[in-house]
Chains A and B, each alone.
Chain A
Amino acid sequence: MTGAIEAESLSKSFGETKSVDGITFRVEESEIYGFLGSNGAGKSTTMMMLTTLLRPTSGSARVAGFDVVREASRVRSHIGFVQQENAVDEYLTGRENLALQAKLSRVERSDAKVRIDELLDTIGLADRQHDAAVTYSGGMKKRLDIACGLLHRPSVLFLDEPTVGLDIQTRRRIWESIRRMHREHGMTVFLSTHYMEEADELCDRVCIIDEGKIRAVGRPGEMKGRMGRDVITMEAGGSARRLADRMGTMRGVKSVDVRGDSVTAYVQDGAGMMPAIFGEADSLGVTIRAVSMSKPSMDDVYISYTGHQIREHGPEPRRRKRGI
């Protein structure tokens, strides 16, 4: 069976800059697949190639079974794309925005009416449908924009940073809308985000992308599990590096990270290891000024896959401004 999205050594360069560098991945049907990365990691560029807006420099991709270059127009009739910038037409009302989308995607007029009513209900805009979109809040506009992406029942829905710049309550409402629409329509969702929480909340699988390359793919739960069960963070002043080196040799410690004066250790049994860690610190003559313990988050996962990579190049993460 073919996947909903299949990318093969997909690359895009802008001049000298390799924005996306030979990525290969596969998204299964009906899956919510998250592309997680910082700004400039290559998420939007990838999405633009998959939605036929940019031509790959090399490699290939198939979306809904069609090649994004050779069969671009067939891809377009099977996808919905919700861009990072809100593309709601503010002069038009909510209902008119959906009607416009219906015309753009050639939905039959009679079907369109029923679907527009349904979607307005789903996104909770039924009572404001005749107001110009310029009067809507940021969250309402975003929900409307997402509904536009779904109106023609695409088999693959692309969401580029769906909640960027929104407050936490609004983000939760958007997530709820996305989950509800996914439950009702069962489409594949390809979502890019730089919010760990979003990837964790929504995605069946997460792909970590950094500097145009894929660093890891997996289910959020498994990825966190790989980190060890607990995260211990200690403030150790100038001796952080010495403490970290010693801890790296201890049994039960999966990995250790130093950021400034603090040491972060991913361990199997945090509570049980604590006395041993203090013992080692004592023997090194290092004073631990503060300690905290937590469960690993997607943050930790992300840092463990990209942080090391960044350190290989030097102490400071280097990011060039991409050409778009």
Chain B
Amino acid sequence: MSFGPDVYAIFWREMKRYRKSKSGVLIRLIQPAVWIIVVGNTFAGTKPLIQAAGFDGEYIEFMAAGVIVLTAIFTSIFGGVNTLWDRRYGFMNKALVSPISRSSLALGKMLAISTVSVLQASLIIGISLAIGVQFSDYAMIVPIMAVVLLFSLGFSGISVMVAATAKSQEAFWGIINFLGMPLFMISPALFPLELLPEWLASLAKLNPATYTILMVREMMTGVPSGVPAALSLGILGAFVAVVVVVAGWTFTRDVNRPF
């Protein structure tokens, strides 16, 4: 089977394109950098509230994990947009008349988006360190990156799926913006679940980003999150597995419909 090399072909192309859009790397960093610097300091006074909910540390240390996942959410959920361009400007048809399978096309794109997402997230970790956020154990950076990669695979799957089925650019952006912001807001990214109203906290428990943030925060700060890491990882893994399968299937079915 040549599934591996086929996936790599697409991955290789996407990464080449990423490397050549250097300005994009910085632009995509601005938003999370603003979050961590501005919001991190604006809400510094909420430290007593955070402490009451069981987190012993500065607010900025609390929310840094949230911003790392924010970076991953937006990098990966916007990442599928070039699928739209590919459908419009020839590359997609070129790939579709080649012998490689549709699902390897989808997976290659998802892996590339997730890799970019990890790179962006690692830059945010760099910024966090630069502004004085402390890690309980710096060796944790590697497993944090692994969790971000897994999480991004799921969200890039959603993005690629929407891009493969969207009838227009507008439809893509409409759906993606509709999904992106709530997935970030309805989570413990900025405040502990304990401080959210009951109904919001219940909603947040349905959000895969929630478990990712809890895991990343626990690894960064060493403070137990209240949900066992194995459970969080299991929920995230199941979510990603479902998305990868559904995205591969949807992509195969819909991608060469004209629009």
Provide the B115-159 mask, 1 if CB < 8 A to any CB of A, else 0.
000000000000000000000000000000000000000000000
- A92 (CB) vs chain B CBs: closest residue: B16
Would A73 and B99 count as touching, CB distance under 8 A?
yes
Closest approach, in angstroms, between the C-beta of B247 and any C-beta of chain A?
20
B16 contacts A91, C-beta separation under 8 Å: yes
Are A104 and B98 in touch, CB under 8 angstroms?
A: yes
Asked if B9 and A100 make an inter-chain contact with CB atoms under 8 angstroms apart, the answer reads: yes
In the bound complex, how far is the Cα of B98 from the Cα of A148, in angstroms? Answer: 11
Point out the residue from B12, B20, B93 that lies within 8 Å of A87, measured CB to CB: B93
Q: Are B99 and A87 in contact (CB under 8 A)?
A: no
Q: How many residues of B contact A (CB 8 A)?
A: 25
Nearest CB of chain A from residue B168's CB, rounded to whole Å: 14
B34 beta carbon closer than 8 Å to chain A: no
**Contact for A81 among B12, B17, B94, CB less than 8 A:** B94
Q: Are A106 and B2 in contact (CB under 8 A)?
A: yes
Select B94's contact among A54, A77, A148, A324, beta carbons within 8 Å: A148
Q: Is the CB of B93 within 8 A of A83?
A: yes
In the assembled complex, the Cα of A96 lies from the Cα of B17 at a distance in Å of 11
Of A79, A96, A100, A105, most B-chain CB atoms within 10 Å: A100
- B256 & A53 in contact (Cβ 8 Å cutoff): yes
Which of the listed residues B6, B90, B95, B97 has the most CB atoms from chain A within 10 Å of its own CB?
B97
Let me know if A170 is at the binding interface, CB within 8 A. Answer: no
- Contact yes or no, A106 B90, CB < 8 A: no
Residues of B with C-beta under 8 A to A79: 97
Tell me whether B258 and A103 are in contact (CB under 8 A). no
A260 CB → nearest B CB, Å: 38
29 contacts between A and B (CB under 8 A): A53-B96, A77-B99, A79-B97, A81-B93, A83-B90, A85-B90, A86-B89, A87-B93, A89-B17, A89-B91, A91-B16, A91-B17, A92-B13, A92-B20, A96-B16, A100-B16, A101-B98, A103-B5, A103-B9, A104-B9, A104-B98, A104-B99, A104-B100, A105-B98, A106-B2, A106-B5, A106-B6, A148-B94, A324-B258
**Chain A interfacial positions (CB closer than 8 Å to B):** 51-54, 73, 76-77, 79, 81, 83, 85-87, 89, 91-92, 96, 100-101, 103-106, 132, 148, 323-324
The 10 closest A-B pairs by CB, nearest first: A87-B90, A103-B9, A104-B98, A77-B99, A324-B258, A87-B94, A81-B97, A91-B17, A91-B20, A85-B90
